[in-house]
Amino acid sequence: MFYSEAGQFSTRYAADRRLFRLRRDRLGLGLLLVFAFAVVPQIGNDYWFSAILTPFLVLSLAGLGLNLLTGYAGQLSLGSAAFMAAGAFATYNFQLRIEGLPLLASFALGGVVAALLSLVFGLPSLRIKGFYLIVSTLAAQFLVPWALVKYGWFSNYNASGVISAPRLDVLGLDLSSPAGRYLLTLGIVVALAFLARNIVRSELGRNWMAVRDMDTAAAVIGIPLARTKLLAFAISGFYLGVAGALWAFTYLGTVEPHGFDLNRSFQVLFIIIIGGMGSILGNFLGAAFIVLFPLLLSNLAGLLLGGLIDPGQLENIQKMIFGALIIVFLIREPEGLARLWQQFRARLRRWPLRY
Amino acid sequence: MDFFLEVLIGGLLAGVMYSLVAIGFVLIYKASGVFNFAQGAMVLFAALTFVSLGERGVPFWIAFLVTLGTMLLLALAVERLVLRPLVNRAPITLFMATLGLAYITEGAAQALWGAQVHGLDLGIEDVPLDLGGLLVSQFDLFAAGMAATLVLLLSVLFNKTRIGLSLRAVADDTLAAQAVGIRLSRIWVVVWAVAGLVALITGLLWGARLGVQFSLSLVVLKALPVLIIGGFSSVGGAIVGGLIVGASEKLAEIYAGPLIGSGIENWFPYVLAMLFLLARPTGLFGERSIDRV
Amino acid sequence: MSLSSPPLLELSHISLSFKGVKAITDISFAVARGEICALIGPNGAGKSSLLNVINGVYQAQEGQIRFDGEARRHMRPHHAAERGMARTFQNLALFKGMTVLDNVLTGRNLKRRSSWIEQALGVGRAPQEDDEQRRRAEEVIEFLNIQSWRQSLVGTLPYGLQKRVELARALAAEPTLLLLDEPMAGMNAAEKKEMSRFIVDINREFGTTVVLIEHDIGVVMGISSHVVVLDYGRKIGDGPPDAVRANPEVVAAYLGTRH
Amino acid sequence: MPFNKALKPLALAISLGTLSLGAQAAAEQYFPLQSYRIGPYAAGGTGFFGGFIDYLQYVNANGGVNGVKLTWSECETEYVVEKGVECYERLKKGLNGAPAAATNPLSVGIAYATLDRSTADKIPLITINHGRTDSTDGRVFPYAFPLQLNPYSEVSAIVNYIGQQVGGLDKLKGKKIVTLYHGSPYGKETNEVLEKLAAKYGFALTLLEVPHPGNEQQSQWLNIRRIQPDYVILRGWGVMNPVALKTAQKLGYPTDRIIGNIWSNSEDDAAPAGAAAKGFISITTHPSGTGFPVLQGIKKSVVDAGKGNLADPKRFGTVYYNLGVVNGILNVEAVRIAQARFGNKPLTGEQVRWGFENIRLDDKRLKELGALGLVQPLKLSCADHEGGGAVRFQQWNGQEWKLISEWVQADRALLRPIIEASASKYAKEKGITPRDCAKEI
């Protein structure tokens, strides 16, 4: 009796496997990509490319990296910035020391180095759980920048330990203009985001979520806990490493180890809390929020209050709002902006009917 | 040998200061299972409020009491607005909520009192005492004395008073405690307020050393490894953990620093804590829990 | 399946204690291939602990487990799963943040051959295998009649349905031995009946051996071919349902506790 | 859903906020201020930008620069690099048509991150008393100005001062000097040149790092006690300074043998240490105090008019505030000099750059500015973007700083080849062709 219906299902499995099941979603995404790749470079200006869009994309990628680990596999980390630093400095050294290595290969290798490092600091996760794990990730957070400052080799013996970006050439195209850097970042981020979506929908992604939701049960049904956790650390490290390299090279153009301090790790964590844990889209929403919100607030204050509040005070207020938002999201909407977006879309589908 | 002893004693005394911060954590963790990252921000908030009042001419004890009152209000607000809505959620969620709380508290402290550095003089000369060739800091001895007093006070509070008994009941078994009529919300407020008191005292001692300013909130980072080593749920563990961290990081800086490079104190305690964790996943004094299915 | 074939599962002299408190004392019994074996006994008799020992969630201090021809002092959960054991839990151990379909798919994780990289890039063995996995999962879902909730998050489903999803997840692994810890707890009579039918169907259609814990003696006697009775961590009865029902020690235990 | 409703006005606000930049031109010269008033280094930021803004107000109150009014807007960086970059990108286009004269981030990290951008956008990047040392070479770094004092000059002057104290540079041989530095790029920057100086003069140098932020220095000072150095050079920043002084006292190291560098020299560095700071020596490029005519002028036309930028008026005349005033004087002077060539109108960054490169401050001009004794004589050029290289030494008496030396000059001739070598290495890495200064007028 089971096999009788198999034939009619087989076409649907392939459809089920597709990245986005709904046609409208696919269409929307396609349009968005066309817009981002073709239209934005035409209409954007330097400010938008260098100060908003590029950091937004890089932070989205960093959020994605942490989300794979924390949102999907349930392993809390406060060391994201350490792995970003590792990726940035590794990429720099690959470019510096291997003549003629293509830029994209350097990014990938930088990511691999960060992945290996992340794997090492993930080893304690096999023995300890929950927020005990933050001690291991914090060890990485403090150890890695220290080592990068301490040992001059990492920064090619620059007196102050600062590295600067190599020329941004991809396949002979010079991408060092603001728009070029934006496009380079966009290309990498989009490709990696698609890959991430594939991963979380594969067996590995399900295993991550199983470990997150109940690790004893996961072990009972035969999921190899150690391998699953370590893969989460490694893949997350890879994403963070590439994000770090992009941060250093396509965004700032220069970076010092302390640019990847604990505050950066918190920033990435806030992106996934606000954006939505266990969601790919959430990282983009969260990063957009983190990048845009301070700007909106200062613009708004300037506009409405005409400079009545001094900028320092505004920053304090912003800090308080951030803190409050984190708590509100944790209480009211643990799945973050991504969930709000889904609800909004669901309402849109019913529109104009109210209910 | 003398030098070694000096380093060791200096380290142990520095460790007492770490323990102070860690005690605040332990209190809250015991009563509400929350790993309160905002403890550092509370230290900043308390110290800044106290100093700013003092600078406006408020006498010492009144400033102290007003600050304490403020910390009580903070405790009430935290219970009402953070803990109660998040009851029964995963520990990780609660931890992240305290990150948000830390942001709010830091922002509020600086919005209210400004960002400049304040000096704080508790009237203790910090000239070294010469004990048979060993130099020992008077101030550190004073701080150690304060810590000891505080621990004594806390143990009286928890062992001899009714509220202490209820607190221990809650720590042992939350559901059972509720069943016998202990009101969880009251316990939480009390514990957070006591943690506020600890934060104030910590803030005064640290503030007298560093000046009262933003980086006070960073002392939280020193307390984390202390907690891991001592275990989250034991005041005694926090003291021992603090001593271990203080002594070992100083010794490591002096004796290992020349080999691998100086300035290792930021990460050394964490690596040490990690090794401890691998050997004893629940800390020196923590209790082991069995996963039930 | 002939009488001469060795039992699928054989426990010999199993003892387990927690911090010095004995939970199970010297228990031995065998489960034949293809049978439905029920573990019964009053609360706290050690039934769940025994189930946990069988698939390695707990490690017994003494004794030996022989499963499918392989003898082991300790079982490990992962090894048990690889060897063909699947189970459900007394208090549901589903992955609450995932959909029904995904939960069932996790049950098939040991049937994967393609690497995660193949799957992530959608190359090599992965796509074809993926279709196969989904087909099998859908079969199980259909078999247990939970199609309507395929895409629902399990955390949002009612208790009875969650029980069924957990059974589906276990079944998806195509186990040789299925361990069910109170599969009908908290269900009404109609639901119990339905669940009993599923268990019997599974046993018949796939030849899966079942070991289950159940309190409802009526249900137990109706579906099982072999009953093991525990009391205070000891075995007090073992045999066909009718024989066990006639055993005076068993009757005493049940009357004594007024279950 | 309140979130969606909230989005609309926010989106409107951001578009208005960015649009307003393109509005109608005015006869004003604009200073984009990447200021920081909160965070761990807020004390420096509020003082510096307070003094800077007050000086700009003072100039406006007296008719502007040849009739061109100065305007500015602030953008909070929190001393965080990427915020500084965002501020740079936001402000660089000017304000309501008023062109940007120069950027003054007062942060090494932000300066590094905006160095390339400044060159590309042709806006001078002013790093007074700090910044990248090799940017002194204006041929390779046409738009970067480590005015008055770069980090190498700073340590060179300190070593020269110690030489004076011990009775001549030749007496430095065999002396022991410890440098306690902040574990950051800023802290590390001078280690290399200190080692060169140690080799040249034959003193024993020990470099000790204090991890950021510097809350704990017990072991470093224990080490110092063991070494028993003749002097300790303190390269601190923020909380590290008072903690150093307190710890020194605790371990019995004499305070008057500790010499603070340029970022360890403010009231905020000494005062929080209380009595432990008494006797502490530091360098400064400018005295604190309110006696200078320019400060009196600011007091009269800005502070007393209730327009002073300081939240705490007691900080008027302090080290950071006065540094802000000095910075204001130099920026405005550059605009004034450039106006003499390009006309009395708002100027582009490129034109202001020419002004900076032609700053000539002698005693006569300083007197006119009311800043004699506040600013050192300064002469910049296309090749030399630093200009001064002299410091005075001051000592903390428990209440305020007292000057204890005349100007002590760095050995700039010794440093120049090191700087040029470093600059040309950078030029090579980046593919920059150095300017030919003979062709610049």
Residues B153-207 pLDDT 10s: 888 887 788 878 887 787 777 777 777 777 788 888 888 998 999 999 999 988 8
The C-alpha atoms of residue C234 and residue C216 are separated, in whole angstroms, by: 20
Q: For residue C7, what is the DSSP state?
A: P
- What is the tens place of the pLDDT at every residue in C232-243? 889 998 999 888
A160 vs D183: CB contact, 8 Å cut-off? no
Answer whether residue D228 shows pLDDT above 90: yes
**Which chain C residues are closer than 8 Å to A17 by Cβ?**
122, 127, 130-131, 134
Q: For residue D439, what is the DSSP state?
A: G
**More reliable by pLDDT, D248 or B131:** D248
Q: Does B77 touch chain A (CB under 8 A)?
A: no
- Which pair of structure tokens corresponds to residue D329? 């004087």
- What is the tens place of the pLDDT at every residue in D179-222? 999 988 788 889 989 999 999 999 999 999 998 888 888 889 98
Distances (CA, A) of D352 to A18, D29, D378, D380: 58, 10, 17, 13
Domain ranges of chain D: 17-149+289-379+420-439, 152-284+392-410
CATH fold for domain A45-350:
ABC transporter involved in vitamin B12 uptake, BtuC (1.10.3470)
Do D and C make contact, counting contact as 3+ CB pairs within 8 angstroms? Answer: no
Q: Does C217 touch chain B (CB under 8 A)?
A: no
CA A260 to chain centroid, in Å, comes to 14
Query: Which pLDDT band, with edges at 50, 70 and 90, does B105 fall under?
Result: very high
Maximum CA extent, chain B: 61
- What is the tens place of the pLDDT at every residue in C172-225? 999 999 999 999 888 888 889 999 999 999 999 999 999 999 888 888 888 999
The C-alpha atoms of residue D43 and residue A87 are separated, in whole angstroms, by: 34
Interface of D with A in 298-337 (CB under 8 A): 311
- What is the tens place of the pLDDT at every residue in C128-169? 888 899 999 999 999 999 999 988 999 889 988 999 999 999
Neighbour tally for B186: CB within 10 Å: 12
Answer whether residue B283 shows pLDDT above 50: yes
Q: Does A303 touch chain D (CB under 8 A)?
A: yes
Q: What is the pLDDT of residue B219?
A: 81
Mean pLDDT of chain A: 87
Comparing C-alpha atoms, which of D269, D16, B229 is closest to residue A298?
D16
The C-alpha atoms of residue A308 and residue D422 are separated, in whole angstroms, by: 46
A195 vs C120: CB contact, 8 Å cut-off? yes
Contact A65, A80 (CB under 8 A): yes
Q: Does B34 touch chain A (CB under 8 A)?
A: no
- Which pair of structure tokens corresponds to residue C247? 């055993």
Q: What is the pLDDT of residue A269?
A: 94
Distances (CA, A) of C216 to C223, C226, C238: 11, 15, 17
Sequence-ordered list of residues with C-beta below 8 angstroms from that of B17, at least 6 positions apart, any chain: B140, B143, B147, B202, B205, B206, B209, B242, B246
Distances (CA, A) of D108 to B45, B224, D112, D236, D263: 29, 31, 6, 14, 12
Distance from CA of A278 to the nearest CA of C (A): 9
Contact A167, A96 (CB under 8 A): no
- What is the tens place of the pLDDT at every residue in C32-73? 999 999 999 888 888 999 999 998 888 888 999 999 888 888
Asked which of A41-45, A279-283, C169-173, D147-151 is least confident by mean pLDDT, the reply is: A41-45
Answer whether residue B227 shows pLDDT above 80: yes
- What is the tens place of the pLDDT at every residue in A102-123? 999 999 999 999 999 999 999 9
Contact D12, A298 (CB under 8 A): no
Positive or negative, the Cα torsion across A225, A231, A234, A236? negative
- What is the tens place of the pLDDT at every residue in A196-246? 999 999 999 999 999 999 888 999 999 999 999 999 999 999 999 999 999
Contact A217, C94 (CB under 8 A): yes
Contact A56, A287 (CB under 8 A): yes
CATH fold for domain D152-284+392-410:
Rossmann fold (3.40.50)
Domain D17-149+289-379+420-439, CATH homologous superfamily name and number = Response regulator (3.40.50.2300)
Interface of A with D in 329-348 (CB under 8 A): 337, 340, 343-344
Q: Does A108 touch chain B (CB under 8 A)?
A: no
The C-alpha atoms of residue A342 and residue B235 are separated, in whole angstroms, by: 46
D185 vs A310: CB contact, 8 Å cut-off? no
Phi–psi pair at A118, nearest 5 degrees: -60, -40
The C-alpha atoms of residue D200 and residue A246 are separated, in whole angstroms, by: 42
Answer whether residue B98 shows pLDDT above 60: yes
**More reliable by pLDDT, C229 or A173:** C229
Q: Which chains touch D (3 or more CB pairs under 8 A)?
A: A, B
- Which pair of structure tokens corresponds to residue A333? 């909407």
Comparing C-alpha atoms, which of A56, A59, A122, A50 is closest to residue A265?
A59
C94: three-class secondary structure by DSSP: coil
Q: Does B220 touch chain A (CB under 8 A)?
A: no
Give the amino acid at D256: D
**Which chain A residues are closer than 8 Å to D212 by Cβ?**
258, 261
Q: What is the pLDDT of residue D187?
A: 87
The C-alpha atoms of residue B252 and residue A348 are separated, in whole angstroms, by: 62
> What class is the C1-84+177-259 domain?
alpha beta
Positive or negative, the Cα torsion across B179, B183, B188, B190? negative
Distance from CA of C86 to the nearest CA of A (A): 6
Residue C199's H or E segment, with its range, is helix C189-206
Asked which of A59-63, B111-115, B266-270, C163-167 is least confident by mean pLDDT, the reply is: B111-115
Do A and B make contact, counting contact as 3+ CB pairs within 8 angstroms? Answer: yes
- What is the tens place of the pLDDT at every residue in A143-175? 998 899 888 888 877 777 788 777 788 888 888
Answer whether residue D127 shows pLDDT above 50: yes
The C-alpha atoms of residue A300 and residue D15 are separated, in whole angstroms, by: 10
**Which chain A residues are closer than 8 Å to B93 by Cβ?**
330, 334
Interface of D with A in 74-103 (CB under 8 A): 74-76, 78, 80-83, 85-86, 88-90, 93
The C-alpha atoms of residue D165 and residue D168 are separated, in whole angstroms, by: 7
Asked which of B231-245, C154-168, D249-263 is least confident by mean pLDDT, the reply is: B231-245
Neighbour tally for B48: CB within 10 Å: 27
**Mutating which of A138, A156, A296, A339 best tests the D interface, going by the most D Cβ atoms within 10 A?**
A296
Query: Which pLDDT band, with edges at 50, 70 and 90, does A4 fall under?
Result: very low
Query: Which pLDDT band, with edges at 50, 70 and 90, does A92 fall under?
Result: very high
- Across the A/D interface, how many CB contacts are shorter than 8 Å? 125
D185 vs A256: CB contact, 8 Å cut-off? yes
Residue D233's H or E segment, with its range, is strand D231-235
**Mutating which of D178, D188, D216, D255 best tests the B interface, going by the most B Cβ atoms within 10 A?**
D216
Q: Does A305 touch chain B (CB under 8 A)?
A: no
C218: three-class secondary structure by DSSP: helix
- What is the tens place of the pLDDT at every residue in D132-181? 899 999 999 999 999 999 999 999 999 999 999 999 999 999 999 999 99
Neighbour tally for D298: CB within 10 Å: 28
Sequence-ordered list of residues with C-beta below 8 angstroms from that of D422, at least 6 positions apart, any chain: A159, D133, D134
CA C12 to chain centroid, in Å, comes to 19
| Interface pTM, i.e. ipTM | 0.87
CA atoms lying within 13 Å on the CB side of residue D384: 19
Share of chain D above pLDDT 70, in %: 94
The C-alpha atoms of residue B33 and residue D129 are separated, in whole angstroms, by: 50
Sequence-ordered list of residues with C-beta below 8 angstroms from that of A270, at least 6 positions apart, any chain: A286, A290, A322, A326, B99
Query: Which pLDDT band, with edges at 50, 70 and 90, does B282 fall under?
Result: low
Answer whether residue D376 shows pLDDT above 70: yes
Q: Where are the beta strands (DSSP E) in chain A?
A: 163-164, 169-170, 173-174, 254-255
Domain ranges of chain C: 1-84+177-259, 95-174
Q: What is the pLDDT of residue A19?
A: 59
**More reliable by pLDDT, C92 or A70:** A70
- What is the tens place of the pLDDT at every residue in A125-137? 888 777 778 888 9
Distances (CA, A) of B265 to B14, B261, B269: 12, 11, 7
B122-131, D35-44, D217-226: which has the highest mean pLDDT? D217-226
**pLDDT, mean of residues D293-309:** 94
Comparing C-alpha atoms, which of C115, C172, C111, C107 is closest to residue A202?
C115
The C-alpha atoms of residue A347 and residue A339 are separated, in whole angstroms, by: 12
Distance from CA of A33 to the nearest CA of B (A): 33
A306: three-class secondary structure by DSSP: coil
Give first-to-last CA distance, chain D, whole Å.
63
Answer whether residue A297 shows pLDDT above 60: yes
Q: Does B290 touch chain A (CB under 8 A)?
A: no
User: What one-character-per-residue DSSP string does A204-236 give?
Assistant: HHHHHHHHHH-HHHHHHTT--HHHHHHHHHHHH
Answer whether residue D1 shows pLDDT above 70: no
Q: What is the pLDDT of residue C75?
A: 83
The C-alpha atoms of residue A199 and residue A72 are separated, in whole angstroms, by: 11
Q: What residues does D180 pair with on adjacent strands?
A: D208, D234
Q: What is the pLDDT of residue C54?
A: 92
CA atoms lying within 13 Å on the CB side of residue A303: 19
The C-alpha atoms of residue C208 and residue C221 are separated, in whole angstroms, by: 19
Contact D355, D331 (CB under 8 A): no
| Chain D residue with Cα closest to A298 | D75
Q: Does B274 touch chain A (CB under 8 A)?
A: yes
Of B7, B211, B250, the CB nearest to D242: B211
Domain ranges of chain A: 45-350
Residues in B lying within 8 Å of C, measured between beta carbons:
290, 293
Q: What residues does D208 pair with on adjacent strands?
A: D180
Contact A269, A282 (CB under 8 A): no
In the sheet that holds C62-67, the strands lie side by side as: C21-31, C9-18, C62-67, C70-72
